[in-house]
């Protein structure tokens, strides 16, 4: 199957939204792959971090928003520290999560967390998890 | 020295061993930690979207309260609190429009905030104001022969503009270990992420990360890990139960807060270390090194 | 009896690691004719050379053998060494025991040592028969010929002329300027090429030391370095340029309209025309193939309207001869014809254009005033696809080499397109982006970040017309996707090839070229602006794809080589050349036909071969070809070679 690329992709609302929310120029990424090379969680991701940006550049909204990868990213800032172009990928990942969360769609429903887990984990884990995963 | 202190939530609950050992140590170093009034949750994670101001209210309100008590500096122990407060503070220092809006969003705070409070991590105080060489002079029980791998995690170092050390080759914990007489173990995972909050719903991910980190340190000869973040601590310490279930070769390793090692080396009563709150009991190791007494 | 000294070099461990140098020195000292032999760590070092000088004086040597590296490395060094103490430099020989012995026989040290001894003995035998030679002196004409009036030729001409020497600049078109004058803007600074090049053109036109022969071509070159004779054809312009005032009325009145080559066929010109308004010289020519008078026998509208009676339908080609000392070849480039690429439409789609065509569309002084209206219907294209490496880096079908400038001009073109059409989108299909000049990478990133050019990593497989769109089928190997884009216009960065006339000129000048007719430099690293033939220098894209800064630098480099040649009053020529024994020569002419330099001719009276010593390069082809043995190479004569063979083959 061919992927049709047109001005609808390159000037899409989705791309504008990601740039607005993250404050980053998506086109600044030149696909060197250093983010993926250093990402501690890449083995659990379905789409590698650099490819996430690439898909955003190509305006592939659905594929990006449906990916597991954007939720696996734990904002460890390793990529941010090392990116030669100064692209803050953590901010881009957060905007992608926010686009879903702001539709009142939770990635993790707070009510689904068991009492056992609640009593076990420290507050910072719980609060940060819900900050990242629920609307 | 007296300094305003922000404990954060976890230090008052699961990480009492962190707080108690810190407060006792600092008092013996003549530093008074003044817990400021009416502090609230820092927000735990710094909000990364440009339009999200509401999540900056919590950290900035804390800084306003520090200012209300006429203090200009606040110290934290928890890496996550440090990072969130420091980044929020940086944001308002650089963006006056957002600062104005945040001031307007406050409710019972009469003081107008201008970004004047300095956010510090305790390690910075120890390094820059007490001085590691001074600590070395004050210790009574050098932790001789104890091989400890420093674990920095993410938020002490990254992003670089708020990190307390070189994000790729940090030395502050190693230098700290040197000052208390322990041997620092060099290993490649000292700044790798432990998978953080994934511990709530994706324990598997944390187990993988923690196993890699701990095993790397063990293979380089570490007998213990030292760190400064209660969430990293939970993942590297408490999750050893799950690590053992998944990886049969995993041997286990005690995890210390750096303040526990400090208290121990200063010769304080072992009780302030609250070792009973550590998931992997470090006392057998300490006994084997004759650093604490027999039972 | 000879008095020969032999000096064996260790070259660190390069030789001594394999060959037993001390043993050789001992063995050789007993060889007939040798009065002294020694070894030393580095003969080429100052102490090594000093040692040779001392021994030459002390032992009163009449010949020196240095057993060391290849003569291409240090023959000159050691010849100068012995000359400094009064020995004829041609009485110093190099025995190559490194490249031809120690380096290739590291696995067998004993045999390597034996071979080194034989090499030295053979050279000693040659040396015994070596004559003391004196280099020839040849007078030099201090006038340069520059072929090609593009930016390379312009720069080289100005550099030489500004240094006080005369230059004859030959340009095949009616104006100098070359491709640079067609360009929109230049990367990475976006200077207007017309603004920066026309002052140089005017300088050429006005320079008292430059004889500008526009609308002319080099017909024939004879002679040799310092003393060339060049015949130049001045093509009939059918306009008397001496009378013509350049008023332009003739062009206005001409009824013919044919596609303009200068505008890359995107506009029409007249049959009497100049290339562009700032042309130098600003004089028109009549294109006889399209002129109504020449084709149908009537019209003469231009003539009727020329108040100074400059139109001359009877004008014929004329020839001039020039005495020249050095020649710079700056014949430039063309783009590969897009019609050759069938998967991109064989040149049949009007809206699939090449790199120079888009330059004309984007040029503020171009046919569309800088707005890139597409050729088919004049609409403003909203989506433009740029395809790089069209014909380049394609060894299977077209050219294996990288055309070097396309990455950068594509960024520039996409950027200028976006400046002209802010709501448009530019896509670039690329394999690698090569930005290896100062400010180039930054320029690319600016294009991507600010002008949002979408780069897609992959070659385009096919381009076809789909109603008023051009469909592009490509790939994005970064995501592994097949990509389809419905473009309004497609720009092909077609391969850079030598200009149309370049091959013919290279043949006329007998210059070496590569498989694609780019001129070959004497050494790719250390002699990049010289040809293999003495007296010829290379500048610009005629030698290989290059951009403007590199072209200008190379042109100045070639000019400085010419100036260094002109700084001497006489040229010194190697005396190791062929000479004829007239007693033996039968005048068969084998040597004449085999000589690559045309250095030999048969004397019209005596019918004996005669070598022009100033042209002979001493290659030895004639002496090998001579059936009678009359042709011999100085210090490489037949007897010497046989003595060397004997020395090698004796037990």
pLDDT in tens, B48-66: 999 999 999 999 999 999 9
Per-residue confidence (pLDDT) for residue B276, from 0 to 100: 97
CATH architecture of C4-129: 3-Layer(aba) Sandwich (3.40)
Residues C437 and C412 sit within 8 Å (Cβ to Cβ): no
Q: Is the pLDDT of residue B295 over 80?
A: no
In the numeric block, which tokens belong to residue B275? Answer: 């070792």
To the nearest whole Å, the CA of C437 is away from the closest chain A CA by 18
Give alpha helix (H) positions in C433-547.
Answer: 440-449, 502-509
pLDDT of C544 > 90? The answer is yes
Residue carrying structure tokens 């989506």: C383
Which pLDDT belongs to residue C1?
A: 78
Cβ of A78 and B10 within 8 Å? no
Average pLDDT rounded to a whole number, residues C196-225? 96
CA angle C207, C209, C213 (to 5 degrees): 80
- Chain B hits for A108, Cβ within 8 Å: 200-201
Q: Which of B191, B192, B199 is facing A125, going by the closest CB pair? A: B199
CATH code that applies to domain C574-634: 3.30.70.20
- At residue C471, the 3 state secondary structure works out as strand
Do A126 and A112 sit in the same domain of this protein?
A: yes
Q: What is the full DSSP assignment across B251-264?
A: ----EEEHHHHHHH
Report which of C535, C519, C505 is spatially closest to residue C218, judged by C-alpha positions: C505
Tokens of C233: 């054809």
| B143-162 tens-digit pLDDT | 999 999 999 999 999 999 99
Nearest to C452 among A3, A27, A51 (CB): A27
Model confidence band, residue A11 (pLDDT cutoffs 50, 70, 90): very high
- pLDDT for C134: 94
Question: Does residue A42 form part of some domain?
Answer: yes
| C521, C527 contact by CB (below 8 A) | yes
Share of residues in chain A with pLDDT > 90 (%) = 99
Q: Which CATH architecture has domain C137-235+317-332+501-572?
A: 3-Layer(bba) Sandwich (3.50)
pLDDT in tens, C238-250: 999 999 999 999 9
The pLDDT tens digits for C73-110 are 999 999 999 999 999 999 999 999 999 999 999 999 99
Beta pairing partners, C484: A4, C473
Contact C460, C354 (CB under 8 A): no
- The pLDDT tens digits for C548-563 are 999 999 999 999 999 9
Domain C335-497 - what CATH class?
Answer: alpha beta
Which chains would you list as touching B if contact means 3+ CB atom pairs under 8 Å? Answer: A
pLDDT confidence of B266, banded at 50, 70, 90? Answer: very high
At A103 the three-state DSSP class reads: coil
Q: Shortest CA distance to B157 belongs to which of B216, B88, B227, B212? A: B227
Q: Is there a domain that residue A1 lies in?
A: no
What is residue C573's predicted lDDT score, i.e. its pLDDT?
A: 87
Which residues on B lie below 8 Å from A128 (Cβ)?
44-45, 80, 196-197, 231
- State whether residue C454 is helix, strand or coil: strand
Collapsing DSSP to helix, strand or coil, C472 comes out as: strand
Tell whether A116 is covered by a domain: yes
With beta carbons under 8 A apart, name residues in chain A contacting B6. none
The pLDDT assigned to C279 comes to 96
A-contacting residues of C 301-320, CB under 8 Å?
A: none
Q: β-strands C318-324, C227-234: how paired? A: antiparallel
* Structural domain contains residue A18: yes
C neighbour chains, 3+ CB pairs within 8 Å: A
CB-based contact C482 A2, cutoff 8 Å: yes
Residues of A in contact with B45 (CB under 8 A): 75, 127-128, 131-132
Cβ-defined contact of C456 to A5 (cutoff 8 Å): yes
C133 vs C624: CA distance, rounded Å: 21
Nearest CA-CA distance, residue B287 and chain A, Å: 29
Q: Considering only CB atoms, which chain B residues are within 8 Å of A24?
A: none
Q: Residue C577 — very low, low, confident or very high, per pLDDT cuts 50/70/90?
A: very high
* Token reading at A30: 């030149």
Chain segment C141-194, per-residue pLDDT in tens: 999 999 999 999 999 999 999 999 999 999 999 999 999 999 999 999 999 999
Q: Map out the domains of chain B with their CATH numbers.
A: 2-122 (1.20.1050.140), 133-288 (3.40.50.11810)
Structure confidence at residue A52 (pLDDT): 98
pLDDT in the model for residue B110 = 82
- Does residue A2 lie in a domain region? no
Tokens of C406: 């396309």
Contact C486 A51 (CB under 8 A): no
Give the confidence band of C542 by pLDDT, cuts at 50, 70, 90: very high
Q: Mark yes or no for CB contact B196/A76 under 8 Å.
A: yes
pLDDT value at residue B108: 83
Q: How many residues does chain A have?
A: 135
The number of beta carbons lying within 10 Å of the beta carbon of residue C46 is 8
Q: What is the pLDDT of residue C651?
A: 78
Spell out which residues of chain B touch residue A90, defining contact as CB-CB under 8 Å: 48, 159
Mean pLDDT of chain C: 96
Beta strands in C325-458 (DSSP E): 326-329, 333-335, 352-354, 383-390, 425-430, 454-457
Q: pLDDT value at position C572?
A: 87
CB of C521 closer than 8 Å to CB of C329: no
Hunting for tokens 């001579």 — which residue is that?
C626
Does residue C523 have a pLDDT over 80? Answer: yes
Residues A32 and A61 in one domain: yes
Q: At a CB cut-off of 8 Å and minimum separation 6, what does C436 contact?
A: none
DSSP bridge pairs for C92? C64
ipTM of the complex: 0.94
Q: Residue A54: which of C445, C448, C478 has the nearest Cβ?
A: C478
My answer on whether A80 and A22 are in the same domain is yes
Same domain, A48 and A26: yes
Mean pLDDT of chain A, nearest integer: 96
Please indicate if any CB of chain A lies within 8 Å of the CB of B15.
yes
What is the DSSP code string of C217-237? EEEEEEEETTEEEEEEEE---
Which of A84, A90, A122 is the mutation pick for testing B, counting most B CBs within 10 A?
Answer: A122
- State the DSSP H helix or E strand holding residue C562, giving kind and residue range, or none if neither: helix C548-566
Share of chain C above pLDDT 70, in %: 100
Q: In this predicted structure, what is the pLDDT of residue B107? A: 86
What is the DSSP annotation of C346-372?
Answer: TT--TTEEEHHHHHHHH-TTSTTTT--
Q: Are residues A37 and A22 in the same domain?
A: yes
CB atoms within 10 A of CB B116: 12
Q: What is the pLDDT of residue C223?
A: 87
- Mutation target to probe the A interface, by most A beta carbons within 10 A, among B13, B17, B164, B198 is B198
Same domain, A53 and A114: no
Q: Which part of chain C has CATH 3.50.50.60?
A: 137-235+317-332+501-572, 335-497
| % pLDDT > 90, chain B | 97
pLDDT tens digits along C470-500: 999 999 999 999 999 999 999 999 999 999 9
Structure token digits, residue B199: 């511990």
Residue C564 confidence (pLDDT) above 90:
yes
Same domain? For A125 and A73 the reply is: no
**Residue C409 CB neighbour total at 10 angstroms:** 24
Cα dihedral B119→B122→B125→B130 (10° resolution): 160
Per-residue exposure over C212-233, b if at least 16 CB sit within 10 Å of its own CB, e if not: bbbbbbbbebebbbbbbebebb
Query: pLDDT category, C596, cuts 50, 70, 90?
Result: confident
Mean pLDDT within B1-9: 96
Report the percent of chain C where pLDDT is more than 90.
Answer: 96
Confidence of residue B222 (pLDDT cuts 50, 70, 90): very high
| CA gap B210, B237 in Å, rounded | 9
Report the pLDDT value the prediction gives residue C533, as an integer from 0 to 100: 87
Do A59 and A117 share a domain, yes or no?
Answer: no
Best to test chain C binding among A5, A9, A47, A48 (most C CBs inside 10 Å):
A5
Question: Are A96 and A123 within one domain?
Answer: no
Residues 6+ apart with CB under 8 A from C559: C155, C156, C159, C160, C163, C328, C539
Q: How far is CA C649 from CA B101, C130, C620, C646, in A?
A: 99, 21, 23, 5
**A16/A60 same-domain check:** yes
pLDDT mean over C599-621: 91
The domain in which residue A132 lies consists of: 107-135
Number of domains chain A is built from: 2
Dihedral (Cα; C462, C464, C466, C471), 10-degree rounding: 40
Q: Are residues A60 and A125 in the same domain?
A: no
Asked if C454 has any chain A CB less than 8 Å from its own CB, the reply is yes
Q: Could you tell me if A71 and A124 lie in one domain?
A: no
pLDDT in tens, B95-145: 999 999 999 999 888 899 999 999 999 999 999 999 999 999 999 999 999
What CATH code is carried by the domain that includes residue A57? Answer: 1.10.1060.10
């Amino acid at each position: 199957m061919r992927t049709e690329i047109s001005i609808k992709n390159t000037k899409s609302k989705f791309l504008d939204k990601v740039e607005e929310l993250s404050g980053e120029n998506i086109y600044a990424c030149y696909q060197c792959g250093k983010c993926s090379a250093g990402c501690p969680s890449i083995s659990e991701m379905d789409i590698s971090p650099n490819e996430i940006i690439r898909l955003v550049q190509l305006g592939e909204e659905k594929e990006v928003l449906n990916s597991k990868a954007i939720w696996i990213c734990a904002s460890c800032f390793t990529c941010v520290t090392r990116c030669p172009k100064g692209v803050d990928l953590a901010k881009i990942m957060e905007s992608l999560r926010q686009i879903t969360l702001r539709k009142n769609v939770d990635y993790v429903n707070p009510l689904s967390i068991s009492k056992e887990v609640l009593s076990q984990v420290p507050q910072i884990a719980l609060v940060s998890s819900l900050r990242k995963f629920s609307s | 020295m007296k300094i305003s202190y922000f404990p954060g939530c976890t230090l008052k609950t699961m990480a009492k061993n962190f707080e108690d050992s810190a407060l006792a140590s600092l008092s013996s170093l003549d530093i008074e930690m003044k817990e400021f009034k009416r502090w609230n949750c820092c927000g735990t994670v710094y909000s990364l979207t440009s339009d999200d101001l509401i999540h900056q209210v919590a950290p900035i309100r804390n800084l306003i309260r520090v200012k209300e008590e006429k203090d200009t500096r606040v110290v934290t122990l928890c890496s996550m609190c440090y990072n969130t407060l420091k980044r929020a503070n940086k944001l308002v220092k650089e963006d006056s429009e957002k600062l104005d809006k945040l001031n307007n969003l406050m409710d019972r705070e009469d003081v107008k905030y201008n970004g004047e409070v300095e956010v510090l991590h305790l390690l910075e105080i120890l390094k820059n104001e007490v001085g590691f060489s001074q600590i070395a002079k004050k210790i009574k029980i050098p932790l001789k022969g104890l091989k400890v791998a420093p674990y920095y995690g993410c938020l002490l170092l990254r992003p670089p503009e708020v990190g307390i050390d070189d994000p790729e080759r940090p030395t502050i914990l190693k230098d700290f270990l040197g000052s208390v007489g322990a041997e620092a173990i060099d290993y490649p995972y000292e700044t790798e992420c432990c998978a953080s909050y994934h511990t709530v719903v994706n324990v598997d991910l944390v187990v993988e990360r923690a196993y890699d980190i701990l095993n790397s340190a063990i293979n380089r000869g570490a007998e213990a890990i030292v760190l400064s973040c209660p969430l990293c601590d939970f993942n590297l310490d408490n999750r050893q139960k799950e690590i053992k279930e998944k990886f049969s070769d995993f041997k286990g390793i005690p995890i210390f807060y750096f303040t526990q090692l400090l208290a121990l080396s200063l010769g304080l009563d072992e009780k302030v270390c609250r070792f009973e709150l550590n998931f992997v009991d470090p006392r057998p190791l300490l006994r084997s090194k004759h650093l604490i007494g027999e039972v | 009896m000879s008095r020969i000294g032999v000096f064996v070099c260790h070259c660190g461990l390069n030789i001594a690691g394999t060959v037993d140098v001390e043993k050789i020195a001992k063995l050789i000292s007993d060889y007939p004719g040798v009065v002294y032999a020694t070894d030393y760590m580095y003969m080429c070092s100052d102490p090594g050379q000093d040692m040779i000088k001392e021994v030459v004086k002390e032992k009163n040597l009449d010949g020196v053998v240095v057993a060391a590296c290849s003569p291409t490395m240090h023959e000159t060094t050691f010849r100068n060494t012995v000359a400094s103490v009064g020995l004829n430099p041609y009485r110093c020989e190099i025995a190559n025991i490194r490249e031809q012995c120690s380096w290739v026989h590291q696995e067998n040290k004993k045999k390597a040592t034996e071979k080194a001894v034989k090499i030295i003995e053979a050279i000693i035998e040659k040396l015994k028969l070596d004559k003391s030679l004196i280099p020839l002196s040849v007078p030099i004409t201090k006038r340069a010929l520059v072929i090609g009036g593009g930016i390379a030729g312009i720069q080289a001409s100005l550099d030489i002329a500004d240094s006080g020497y005369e230059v004859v600049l030959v340009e095949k078109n009616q104006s100098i300027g070359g491709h640079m004058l067609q360009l929109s803007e230049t990367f990475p600074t976006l200077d207007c090429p017309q603004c920066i090049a026309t002052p140089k053109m005017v300088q050429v036109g006005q320079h008292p030391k430059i004889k500008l022969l526009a609308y002319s071509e080099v017909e024939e070159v004879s002679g040799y370095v310092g003393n060339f004779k060049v015949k130049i054809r001045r093509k009939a312009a059918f306009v008397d340029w001496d009378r013509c005032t350049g008023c332009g009325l003739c062009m206005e009145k001409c009824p013919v309209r044919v596609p303009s080559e200068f505008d890359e066929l995107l506009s029409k010109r007249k049959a009497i025309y100049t290339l562009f308004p700032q042309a130098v010289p600003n004089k028109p020519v009549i294109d006889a193939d399209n002129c109504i008078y020449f084709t149908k026998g009537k019209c003469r509208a231009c003539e009727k309207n020329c108040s100074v009676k400059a139109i001359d339908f009877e004008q014929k080609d004329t020839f001039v001869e020039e005495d020249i000392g050095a020649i710079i070849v700056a014949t430039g480039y063309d783009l590969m014809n897009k019609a050759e690429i069938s998967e991109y439409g064989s040149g049949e789609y009007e809206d699939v254009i090449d790199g120079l065509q888009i330059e004309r569309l984007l040029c503020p002084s171009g046919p569309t005033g800088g707005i890139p209206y597409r050729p088919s219907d004049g609409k403003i294209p909203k989506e433009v696809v740029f395809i790089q490496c069209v014909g380049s880096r394609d060894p299977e079908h077209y050219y294996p080499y990288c055309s070097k400038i396309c990455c950068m001009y594509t960024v520039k073109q996409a950027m200028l397109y976006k400046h002209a059409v802010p709501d448009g989108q530019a896509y670039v299909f690329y394999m690698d982006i090569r930005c290896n000049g100062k400010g180039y990478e930054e320029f690319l990133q600016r294009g991507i970040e600010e002008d949002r050019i979408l780069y897609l990593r992959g070659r385009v497989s096919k381009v076809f017309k789909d109603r008023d769109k051009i469909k592009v089928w490509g790939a994005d190997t970064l995501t592994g996707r097949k990509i389809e884009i419905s473009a309004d216009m497609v720009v092909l960065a077609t391969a850079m090839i030598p200009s149309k006339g370049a091959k013919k000129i290279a043949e006329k000048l007998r210059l070496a070229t590569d498989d694609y007719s780019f001129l070959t430099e004497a050494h790719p690293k250390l002699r990049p602006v010289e040809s293999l033939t003495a007296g010829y220098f290379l500048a610009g894209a005629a030698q290989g794809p290059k951009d403007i800064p590199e072209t200008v630098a190379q042109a100045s480099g070639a000019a400085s080589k010419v100036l260094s040649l002109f700084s001497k009053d006489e040229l010194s020529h190697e005396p190791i050349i062929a000479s004829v024994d007239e007693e033996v020569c039968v005048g068969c002419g084998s040597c004449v036909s085999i000589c690559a330099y045309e250095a030999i001719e048969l004397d019209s009276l005596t019918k004996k071969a005669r070598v022009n010593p100033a042209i002979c390069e001493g290659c030895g082809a004639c002496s090998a070809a001579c059936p009678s043995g009359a042709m011999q190479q100085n210090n490489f004569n037949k007897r010497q070679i046989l003595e060397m063979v004997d020395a090698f083959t004796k037990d």
